Amino acid sequence: MRRSVVIVDDHAGFRTQARALLIAAGYEVAGEAGDGESGVRAARDLRPEVVLLDVQLPDITGFEVARRIHEDPDPPAIILISSRDATDYGGRIARSCARGFICKAELSAGALEAVLNGTGR
């Protein structure tokens, strides 16, 4: 069975690239959102198994989006992404409810699976 994913990122070009990569790897992209509030709604409405979530969004941070989604019953796995390096966020990633972090330049099916399986960041 394919894992369903919602992509939350304010750059349409990145969402398009991530969608293509995930579909090619056998994921089902259930939806996309371009800001944090829409991302929370998409996660709640579509109930994906995974949310690929940009840290820097135009309205609220990915950390806040992750917190809100994680409060729901049976929340999805949340993977934070950013064009910045994880070290730029200090301990915020580790303190978040996200399963892990992937730099956008390193996004691949293997990196995503590693984080989901607990062998990645």
pLDDT, tens digit, 9 for 90 and up, residues 33-77 = 999 999 999 999 999 999 999 999 999 999 999 999 999 999 999
In the structure encoding, which two tokens stand for residue 26, read together?
A: 């056998």
Angle, helices 36-46/62-70, rounded to nearest 10 degrees:
30
pTM for the structure as a whole: 0.95
* pLDDT for residue 1 is more than 70: no
Question: Going by CATH, does the domain composed of 4-116 fall within 3.40.50.2300?
Answer: yes
Other Cβ atoms less than 10 A from the Cβ of 25: the count is 14
Mean pLDDT of 91-115: 95
The pLDDT score that the predictor gives to residue 9 is 98
* pLDDT for residue 13 is more than 90: yes
* pLDDT for residue 121 is more than 70: no
Average pLDDT, the chain: 95
Query: In the chain, where does DSSP find H-type helix?
Result: 12-24, 36-46, 62-70, 92-95, 109-116
* Contact indicator for 51, 100 with CB cutoff of 8 Å: no
